[in-house]
C-alpha cells in the first residue's frame, strides 16, 4: 500500500473512488442484508485509509464520501419505509488511547475550555446489534424503526412489540413525544440455543422427508448480530416473537422535552421509565477514568452476556453537546473507542482431517499455540477443501488467525503463500477407513463413502440401520449400540447384529442385562432375518436414498440382490458418457436421466443423477461390497413385490400430514401404494387427496387454498377397508 505522502493527486483521486465503492458495498452487506463478508477490523481499516487520504487531499473529497453517509439505504424490503424526524447518526472511531486524548482535546478547543476545567464524560459498552428507534407519544409506543441510511429506515413496530425488554407503555412522568434509541441484540446464550433449535428443526424436517440431514443445508446464523438483525427485520412478526431478542437504550432522537441536564441523568430517566440501559454505563471526570473503564470492559469482554466491539464516550453536559453539534454523519460530542482486532500471527504446523458422523471430511489446522483475545489458540477450522484452496495454506505457512468472541478461530490470511512449496493435496480417501472420499457435483463438502464400515460413522449408521423407519429392531437403542461397539461386537457392521447371540453369556454378566431382556433382544433380531427389502436398503444410509426412494428403486428391480450389478452399470455409463462437445446441458441431462431410469428399470420422478451417483459410489467401494455380501449372508429379504388393489384412490397422488394416530407415516404410504396411489411428501396442484391428522399445518392450509379434497384418518381407514 502506497504511503499517503507518496500519493500523487491522480492516485489519491482514484483510490478515493475505489474506497467509496468498497465501503458502500460493505455498508450494504452489513446494514441492509445482514451478511458482512469482511471483519469489523478490515472495514475500519478501509475507513481509516479513506479518512487519511481525505485529510491529505481535502479538495478531492467526493460527494459519495463514506464520511457523508450513514448505514445503507433501504432498498427492496417487504417492510414499510419510515422517515426519521431526527437523523440517526453514526459515530467516529478511536483506535488508541492517543485518539481518545485527541478527541477530548478537540472538544476543549471547540468549546474554548481552559485546560484546568474538568468536564465529565459517560462511558458505556458498544453493543454489536441492530440500531432501532422507539417513538413514544404520551408514554405509549407508537412506532419502531431501524436506522436504514440514517434518514429513512424500516417500520418494525409489530416486531418490536414481541420483545419483552421494550415496554408498550412507559412508567412515570414522560414527555409527550420521546424517541428512545438503542440496540436490538441477541445474548450469546440465546444465540447458541437458537442455532441448536434450527439444527433440531432441520433434523425433524429431514426425518419427515425420510432423508439424511445435510448440516450445510440448515439455515443457521453466523453470529448474534446477524441473528438479531435477521430476526427483527421479518415481515411476519410471529417469526420475531419466536426469537429471543433484547434491547438496550443508549440515547434519544426527537423529543418534546429533555427532563435532565446531562447524558448520564437522562439515561437514568430512561431506565426509570422501564427501558433497559447498559449496566456498564458510568460517568467519569477526565480522560483517565474512561480509559480505565475501557480496559476493564475489554478484560471482561469474553464474559459479557452479549457481543460488544468497543466503548462509547459522550460529553455529559447536554448544553455542551448542543454547542458541539454534528459533522456530516456523526456528533462531535461522542466517539467509539474500538477494541483491537482479535488477531495474531503463528505457524500452521499441520492439517488434520476429521471425519464426522455423516462422513464429512473437515480439515483442522494445528497451530503453534498463540494467544488471541486472551485465549490460547492451538487449533483452527479450515472449513473445507475449497477454503484451503482459496487461502493456499500448507503446513509450515505463517498465517494470521482471527477469533471473534466465542466463534471458532479461523485463518484470515496466509503470509507465506508465495513461497515455492508444493500445494496441499486434499485426501481422496478417508483417513479413518481408507474408503474413497468424494464431493458430489455442485457441493464443496468431501464425504467418506465407507458408511457402515467407517469407525467415525459406525455409531450413527448403526443407529439408523435399526431405527423405526429401517429394520425397526426393538430393544436395540443408542445406549446398547454404543455398548456393543465399545466391546468390539459390531466391528464388521450391521451383519454383526445378527451374530450377537454368540455373546449371550458375556452379555448376561453385564450391568442392566437380565435373562428376559437378553432373550427379548435376540427374539427381536431374529424376527428381522427376512426383512422388507426397501427397509433394508433405506437402513444402509446411502446418501439420497430415503424410504420412498428405496421403495421406488425396488419396485423396478424387484430383487435387492440386483443392486450391486446395476450400480456398476450406472457408474460405467456415467464414466463413458460425459457431456459431449456441442451438446447442450438440457439435452445431455435428458439423455442422462433416460439412461439412469432404463438401467434401474424405474419410472419414479424422484430417481435421477444424485441417486445414481450415490449408488455408484457406494457399491464401487470394495469395503461396502464386502459389507453388503456379509449382510446378505445373515438376512434373506424376499423379492419386493408391490401388490396393488383397485380402490377409489388408484392413480391418485396422496399426501399425509399431521399426527397419524393409528399407523406410522411409513405404513400409511405403504397402504397408499398398495391401493395404486402415489404417496407424495408435499402438496401441489398435482395432489388429489390430503389425509390430515391432528396438528396439520401448512400443508392443510395449502390444500384448502388449492381446493384439494381433505379427509381424516378415519375416512382413510374406510377407503382401505373398502378395497378389501
Report CA Rg, the chain.
32
> For the sheet containing 709-711, what is the strand order?
678-680, 653-657, 689-692, 709-711
* Residue reference for cell 378395497: 723
Cβ count within 10 A of residue 423: 11
- Closest to 460 (Cα-Cα) out of 438, 445, 478, 472: 478
510 alpha carbon, distance to own chain's centre: 42
Residue 375, phi then psi, degrees to nearest 5 = -120, 135
Cβ count within 10 A of residue 410: 17
Q: Which residues partner with 131 through β-bridges?
A: 183
* Catalytic residue chosen out of the listed positions 21, 81, 126, 718: 126
CA angle 451-457-461, nearest 5°? 70
- Closest to 13 (Cα-Cα) out of 60, 46, 47, 54: 60
Alpha helices in 57-187 (DSSP H): 97-111, 157-160
Contact 496, 485 (CB under 8 A): no
Task: Go through 637-652 and write b for each residue having 16 or more CB atoms within 10 A of its CB, e for each that does not.
Answer: beebeeeeeebebeeb
Active site residue 678: no
Q: How far apart are the first and last CA of the chain?
A: 82
Cβ count within 10 A of residue 444: 12
Task: Fill in the DSSP letter of residue 226.
Answer: H
What is the C-alpha separation between 436 and 448, in angstroms, rounded?
A: 6
Contact 497, 470 (CB under 8 A): no
Q: Which residues partner with 120 through β-bridges?
A: 285
- Closest to 372 (Cα-Cα) out of 335, 411, 428, 333: 411
Active site residues: 126
Amino acid at each position: 500500500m502506497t504511503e499517503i505522502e507518496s500519493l500523487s493527486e491522480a492516485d489519491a483521486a482514484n483510490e478515493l473512488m475505489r474506497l467509496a465503492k468498497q465501503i458502500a458495498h460493505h455498508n450494504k452487506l452489513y446494514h441492509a442484508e445482514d451478511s458482512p463478508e469482511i471483519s469489523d477490523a478490515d472495514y475500519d481499516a478501509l475507513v481509516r485509509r479513506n479518512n487519511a487520504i481525505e485529510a491529505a487531499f481535502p479538495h478531492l473529497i467526493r460527494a459519495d464520501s463514506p464520511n457523508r453517509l450513514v448505514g445503507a439505504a433501504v432498498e427492496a424490503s417487504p417492510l414499510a419505509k419510515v422517515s426519521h424526524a431526527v437523523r440517526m447518526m453514526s459515530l467516529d472511531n478511536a483506535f488508541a488511547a492517543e485518539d481518545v486524548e485527541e478527541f477530548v482535546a478537540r472538544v476543549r478547543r471547540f468549546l474554548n475550555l481552559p485546560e484546568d476545567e474538568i468536564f465529565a464524560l459517560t462511558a458505556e459498552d458498544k453493543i454489536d446489534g441492530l440500531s432501532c428507534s422507539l417513538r413514544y407519544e404520551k408514554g405509549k409506543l407508537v412506532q419502531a424503526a431501524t436506522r436504514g441510511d440514517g434518514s429513512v429506515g424500516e417500520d418494525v413496530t409489530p416486531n418490536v412489540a414481541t420483545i419483552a425488554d421494550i415496554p408498550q407503555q412507559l412508567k412515570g412522568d414522560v414527555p409527550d413525544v420521546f424517541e428512545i434509541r438503542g440496540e436490538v441484540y441477541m445474548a450469546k446464550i440465546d444465540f447458541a440455543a437458537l442455532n441448536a433449535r434450527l439444527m433440531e428443526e432441520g433434523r425433524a424436517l429431514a426425518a419427515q422427508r425420510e432423508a439424511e440431514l445435510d448440516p450445510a443445508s440448515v439455515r443457521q446464523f453466523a453470529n448474534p448480530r446477524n441473528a438479531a438483525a435477521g430476526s427483527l427485520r421479518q415481515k411476519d412478526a410471529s417469526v420475531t416473537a419466536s426469537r429471543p431478542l433484547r434491547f438496550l437504550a443508549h440515547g434519544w432522537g426527537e423529543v418534546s422535552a429533555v427532563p435532565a441536564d446531562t447524558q448520564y441523568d437522562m439515561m437514568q430517566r430512561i431506565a426509570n421509565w422501564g427501558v433497559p440501559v447498559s449496566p456498564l454505563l458510568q460517568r467519569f471526570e477526565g480522560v483517565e477514568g474512561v480509559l480505565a473503564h475501557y480496559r476493564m470492559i475489554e478484560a471482561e469482554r469474553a464474559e459479557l452476556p452479549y457481543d460488544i466491539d468497543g466503548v462509547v464516550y459522550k460529553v455529559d453536559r447536554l448544553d455542551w453537546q448542543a454547542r458541539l453539534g454534528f459533522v456530516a454523519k456523526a456528533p462531535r460530542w461522542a466517539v467509539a473507542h474500538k477494541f483491537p482486532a482479535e488477531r495474531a500471527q503463528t505457524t500452521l504446523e499441520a492439517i488434520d482431517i476429521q471425519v464426522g458422523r455423516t462422513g464429512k471430511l473437515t480439515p483442522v489446522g494445528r497451530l503453534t499455540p498463540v494467544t488471541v483475545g486472551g485465549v490460547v489458540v492451538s487449533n483452527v477450522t479450515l472449513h473445507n477443501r475449497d477454503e484451503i484452496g482459496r487461502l493456499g495454506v500448507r503446513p509450515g505457512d505463517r498465517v494470521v488467525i482471527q477469533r471473534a468472541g466465542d466463534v471458532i478461530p479461523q485463518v484470515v490470511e496466509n503470509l507465506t503463500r508465495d513461497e515455492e512449496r508444493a500445494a496441499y493435496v486434499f485426501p481422496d480417501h478417508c483417513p479413518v477407513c481408507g474408503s474413497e472420499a468424494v464431493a458430489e457435483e455442485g457441493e464443496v463438502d468431501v464425504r467418506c463413502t465407507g458408511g457402515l464400515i467407517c469407525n467415525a460413522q459406525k455409531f450413527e449408521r448403526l443407529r439408523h440401520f435399526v431405527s423405526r423407519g429401517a429394520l425397526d429392531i426393538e430393544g436395540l437403542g443408542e445406549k446398547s449400540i454404543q455398548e456393543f461397539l465399545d466391546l468390539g461386537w459390531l466391528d464388521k457392521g450391521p451383519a454383526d447384529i445378527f451374530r450377537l447371540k454368540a455373546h449371550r453369556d458375556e452379555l448376561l454378566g453385564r450391568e442392566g442385562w437380565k435373562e428376559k431382556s437378553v432373550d427379548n433382544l435376540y427374539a427381536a433380531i431374529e424376527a428381522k432375518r427376512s426383512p422388507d427389502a426397501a427397509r433394508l436398503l433405506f437402513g444402509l444410509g446411502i446418501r439420497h436414498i430415503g424410504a420412498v426412494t428405496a421403495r421406488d428403486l425396488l419396485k423396478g428391480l424387484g430383487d435387492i440382490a440386483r443392486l450391486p450389478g446395476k450400480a456398476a452399470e450406472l457408474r460405467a455409463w456415467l464414466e463413458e458418457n460425459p457431456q459431449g462437445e456441442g451438446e447442450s446441458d438440457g439435452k445431455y441431462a435428458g439423455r442422462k436421466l433416460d439412461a439412469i431410469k432404463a438401467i434401474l428399470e424405474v419410472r419414479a420422478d424422484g430417481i435421477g443423477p444424485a441417486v445414481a451417483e450415490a449408488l455408484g459410489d457406494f457399491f464401487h467401494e470394495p469395503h461396502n461390497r464386502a459389507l453388503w455380501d456379509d449382510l446378505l449372508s445373515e438376512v434373506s429379504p424376499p423379492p419386493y413385490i408391490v401388490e396393488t388393489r383397485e380402490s377409489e384412490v388408484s392413480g391418485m397422488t396422496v399426501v399425509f400430514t399431521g399426527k397419524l394416530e393409528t399407523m406410522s407415516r411409513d405404513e400409511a404410504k405403504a397402504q397408499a401404494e398398495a391401493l395404486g396411489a402415489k404417496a407424495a411428501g408435499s402438496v401441489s396442484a398435482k395432489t388429489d387427496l390430503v389425509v390430515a391428522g391432528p396438528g396439520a399445518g401448512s400443508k392443510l392450509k395449502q390444500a384448502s387454498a388449492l381446493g384439494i379434497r381433505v379427509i381424516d384418518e378415519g375416512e382413510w381407514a374406510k377407503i382401505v377397508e373398502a378395497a378389501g
